[in-house]
Amino acid sequence: MESSSNEFRPLDHKYIVEYIKATPALRSQLGYNLDDLKIREVGDGNLNFVFIVATPSASLVIKQALPYVRSMGESWSMSKERSYFEAEALREQGLYYYDRTMSVIGMRYLEPPHIVLRKGLISGIEYPLLAEHMSEFMARTLFFSSLLHLTTTQHRSSVAKFCGNVEMCRLTEQVIFSDPYRESQHSYWTSPYLDSDAQAVREDNILKLEVAELKSRFCERAQALIHGDLHTGSVMVTRDSTQVIDPEFSFYGPMGFDIGAFIGNLFLAYFAQDGHANHGNDRKLYKEWILRTIVEIWTLFDKKFTALWDDSNNSSGEAYLPEIYNNAELQLLVKRKYIKDLLHDTLGFAAAKMIRRIVGVAHVEDFESITDTATRAKCERQALDVAKMIMKERRRFEAITGAVSAIQEFHK
Amino acid sequence: MESSSNEFRPLDHKYIVEYIKATPALRSQLGYNLDDLKIREVGDGNLNFVFIVATPSASLVIKQALPYVRSMGESWSMSKERSYFEAEALREQGLYYYDRTMSVIGMRYLEPPHIVLRKGLISGIEYPLLAEHMSEFMARTLFFSSLLHLTTTQHRSSVAKFCGNVEMCRLTEQVIFSDPYRESQHSYWTSPYLDSDAQAVREDNILKLEVAELKSRFCERAQALIHGDLHTGSVMVTRDSTQVIDPEFSFYGPMGFDIGAFIGNLFLAYFAQDGHANHGNDRKLYKEWILRTIVEIWTLFDKKFTALWDDSNNSSGEAYLPEIYNNAELQLLVKRKYIKDLLHDTLGFAAAKMIRRIVGVAHVEDFESITDTATRAKCERQALDVAKMIMKERRRFEAITGAVSAIQEFHK
């Protein structure tokens, strides 16, 4: 499955055909008859080339990491080694092929009607299985890579490996935990409406105190192997299917960063709905569905995660040895504490992700697609104000429902 | 300076002479005339051989890690690679020579009147510069290896390297965070006096909840390159000199683990004093000196650590970028929060270190040298009760003085 070219060369529509023909693992996936090859470049992200390659009978995706940030140009360099960590994280889910020198990954093409979840949320589509699937994904990936399941030896060896993905961590640190809180040439916002809001973020001492704690947790706490970029643009959906993509930011970090990324982006979708409302659809019911889904994601995550923990009494996890945590009352006590701490982390990171999408460098289509600037600014301001409140007051919430109620209250 | 033998072989009084003669770096350190070589094995620790090697004009220490825990016998295996991490940590202080295959380190011999601090504390000797020196050592080693000083890239690369010292971390996890809280064949205590106290520790749900949090911090938080075993037996002293030795447990962990180890062991020395009192010396003044020294260590640490932080505005530290933390009020706010969190960690780890020395596997000479068993048990019980209180209530202390006062009050 793994191979390596002699040197790096960016793919293009012509070279990719040669590349596929010279690579048995890709040729066999496509069924050998390559006469009628259809190739489409669809990378709409900030970083990579993404090609959908199809024959009449088969298809795959070829993703290539470039040695710079695609959306910022070649001057913002970025190790293409991120594709190594993406391939490592993908091993269990649809990885066909990996070429380290070319930073090329061959993987499953998620055929139509799969769309990016963010686009579905903008269109107002309900996904009845989203909470079930995402809570399952997060509970399993986070639990099984943590010290609840792993021995110290397994954990430290995995931590050491993913320390190599440092450039992606640096990028996250900069765009999420730094740029929104300082003057930065890359940051922008819906001007002039949000000029003073952006300035207020840069002058908010209490907010900066909180973001420092979250940043330190991001940089120092190797709690689990996290996806690292789990927003609604990293999930492909149909009504029945939910597929997480793009784990190139993966490293050992705090669990709350993944859950917070996802929930924070659902909150952004929620606040953008007023900008997508029209006479035919006021989006009121849809907004309620989003909030219900957030509550359901957390509640199901809690349930699934603690069920895995309950079942782990014979596992080798170092954190809570059964000989020590040996009575029902204590087991409940440690689980409730763990989940509550995780909720506070989750809310903090959710807020950080929201803030950076409004006054930082990379915005979200949820808001960007609202064409009336004043309306967009109004939606963004609501989201920003709520995010600031949540970041500062997250520790007072005992349950997700309290946080969601506070947001509804705040939003009135 | 570095060399490597072909295979591992334990040193003994005969083989060490051959070894030195065959090793130019050691011969040159000893001055080449090896006719009158005096060799003394002085390893009183749990893990290694330690030889003092001297000619009439020169001396050095040769330390060899064995592939098992010396005090427990060959059945408790333990990677001798710990000497690699010790050598790495020693590079800046008195390392002459390192042989990875033999796990042999050649280093400076700390000549008389240097003694192990623990022995000095048992003898009731005051060290007027101890607080000054130890606070300086801890402030510098912890600050300069943290994200207050390092870039993310430097930090993660160092974290990855020291992940290799996992066996030492495992040992610490077991003896400090696990064994005292479960039935363990290795644990012992002053029986029968403390039988019910040891049982109470094993049945204390709240204590176990707290120790889980401390263990998770130990395992997951890569805050700084810590010594990892900074008790009073890892410090050699004279009235004017303070030398930290034995960094073989070093890895990226929470700063409070080092400061807590040292302060916790000073508290043990404090509670042992009543067992060393006699008609000529009631040790009352000495006990006061120990408490004063603990307060002074923390106060000076705080001062030196924040001074390094104040001076770091031009450094590359990732954690608190000057463009964000850009006003005096905010700078004060983040420093006070950092130091307060660190105090709480320090108190928690101090308590964990105290508990494990009373009801765990490796005890301290402070208590073991009290020959009257009932007296020893009384001293140990006081220390144990205080440690339990501190671990549970550490978050209510705003300053070290509050904690010390609470301990004096408790002790009355």
pLDDT, tens digit (0-9, with 9 covering 90-100), for B273-330: 999 999 999 999 999 999 999 999 999 999 999 999 999 877 789 999 999 999 999 9
Residues B409, B403: Cα–Cα separation, whole Å: 10
Residues A109, A59: Cα–Cα separation, whole Å: 6
Predicted-complex ipTM score: 0.94
Q: How far B220 CA sits from the closest chain A CA (Å)?
A: 5
Which CATH number does B2-107 carry?
3.30.200.20
The pair of three-digit structure tokens given for residue A33, joined into one six-digit string: 């008859």
User: Does residue A161 surpass a pLDDT of 80?
Assistant: yes
Residues pairing with B253 in the sheet:
B224
> What contacts B215, CB < 8 A, 6 or more positions away?
A319, B173, B177, B178
Over range A280-295, report the average pLDDT.
97
CA-based nearest residue in chain B for residue A217: B221
Q: A-chain residues within 8 Å CB-CB of B186?
A: none
Whether A220 and chain B come into contact, CB under 8 Å, resolves to yes
Compare CB distances from B219 to A178, A209, A318 and report the shortest one's residue.
A318
User: Does residue B94 surpass a pLDDT of 80?
Assistant: no
CA-based nearest residue in chain A for residue B220: A222
User: Does residue B73 surpass a pLDDT of 90?
Assistant: no
Whole-number pLDDT of residue A412? 72
Whether A223 and chain B come into contact, CB under 8 Å, resolves to yes
**CA neighbours closer than 13 Å in the CB half-sphere of residue B364:** 31
Residues A304, B67: Cα–Cα separation, whole Å: 42
Q: How far A216 CA sits from the closest chain B CA (Å)?
A: 7
Residue located via tokens 């603990």? B294
User: Does residue A244 surpass a pLDDT of 80?
Assistant: yes
Whether B340 and chain A come into contact, CB under 8 Å, resolves to no
Whole-number pLDDT of residue A110? 93
Compare CB distances from A209 to B155, B216, B334 and report the shortest one's residue.
B334
Cα–Cα separations (whole angstroms), residue B105 to A41, B2, B52, B108:
58, 9, 12, 10
Question: Tell me, what amino acid is at A293?
Answer: T
Whether B205 and chain A come into contact, CB under 8 Å, resolves to yes
> Which of A216, A336, A344 has the highest number of chain B CBs within 10 A, making it the mutation to test binding with B?
A216
Whole-number pLDDT of residue A228? 97
Cα–Cα separations (whole angstroms), residue A177 to A65, A127, A173, A365, B310:
24, 31, 5, 21, 21
Cα–Cα separations (whole angstroms), residue B379 to A24, A397, B287:
74, 43, 13
User: Does residue B267 surpass a pLDDT of 80?
Assistant: yes
Whole-number pLDDT of residue A312? 86
**How far from chain centre, in Å, is Cα B1?**
27
CA-based nearest residue in chain B for residue A166: B153
Residue located via tokens 């947790």? A217
The pair of three-digit structure tokens given for residue B212, joined into one six-digit string: 């889980």
Q: Exposed, middle or buried, B243 (CB in 10 Å: 0-12/13-18/19+)?
A: middle
DSSP string, A29-62: HHTS--TT-EEEE---SSSEEEEEEE-SS-EEEE
The pair of three-digit structure tokens given for residue A195, joined into one six-digit string: 């000029």
Whole-number pLDDT of residue A76? 78
Q: What dihedral do alpha carbons A193, A199, A201, A202 form, nearest 10°?
A: 160
Residue located via tokens 């020693």? B90
Compare CB distances from A163 to B156, B330, B337 and report the shortest one's residue.
B156
User: Does residue A2 surpass a pLDDT of 60?
Assistant: no
Over range B12-28, report the average pLDDT.
92
Whole-number pLDDT of residue B196? 98
**CA neighbours closer than 13 Å in the CB half-sphere of residue B347:** 27
Whether B307 and chain A come into contact, CB under 8 Å, resolves to no
Q: B-chain residues within 8 Å CB-CB of A161?
A: 160
Q: B-chain residues within 8 Å CB-CB of A334?
A: 208-209, 212
pLDDT digit string, tens, across residues B221-248? 999 999 999 999 999 999 999 999 999 9
What are the residue ranges of helices labelled H in B124-204?
Answer: 130-144, 152-162, 166-172, 195-202
**What is the percent of chain B where pLDDT is above 70?**
98
pLDDT, chain B, mean: 94
Chain B residues 176-195 within an 8 A CB cutoff of chain A:
178, 181-183
Whole-number pLDDT of residue B200? 98
Cα–Cα separations (whole angstroms), residue A320 to A293, B219, B237:
31, 12, 39
Whether B157 and chain A come into contact, CB under 8 Å, resolves to yes
User: Does residue A92 surpass a pLDDT of 80?
Assistant: no
Helix (H) or strand (E) holding A281: none
Whole-number pLDDT of residue B93? 67
CB B73 within 8 A of CB B34: no
Cα–Cα separations (whole angstroms), residue A97 to A30, A107, B234:
12, 7, 51
- CA nearest to B151, candidates A157, A352, A219: A219
Q: How far B179 CA sits from the closest chain A CA (Å)?
A: 9
User: Does residue A341 surpass a pLDDT of 60?
Assistant: yes
**What is the percent of chain A where pLDDT is above 70?**
98
- CA nearest to B7, candidates B102, B106, B103: B102
CA-based nearest residue in chain B for residue A225: B220
> In chain B, count of helices (H) and strands (E)?
15, 11
Cα R_g (chain A), whole angstroms: 22
Which CATH number does A115-411 carry?
3.90.1200.10
Compare CB distances from A320 to B159, B212, B330 and report the shortest one's residue.
B212
Compare CB distances from B324 to A208, A219, A320 and report the shortest one's residue.
A208
Residues B102, B135: Cα–Cα separation, whole Å: 34
How many interchain CB pairs under 8 A, A with B? 120
Q: Where are the domains of chain B?
A: 2-107, 115-411
User: Does residue B45 surpass a pLDDT of 90?
Assistant: no
Whole-number pLDDT of residue A4? 58
- Three-class SS state of A141: helix
Whether A344 and chain B come into contact, CB under 8 Å, resolves to no
User: Does residue B270 surpass a pLDDT of 90?
Assistant: yes
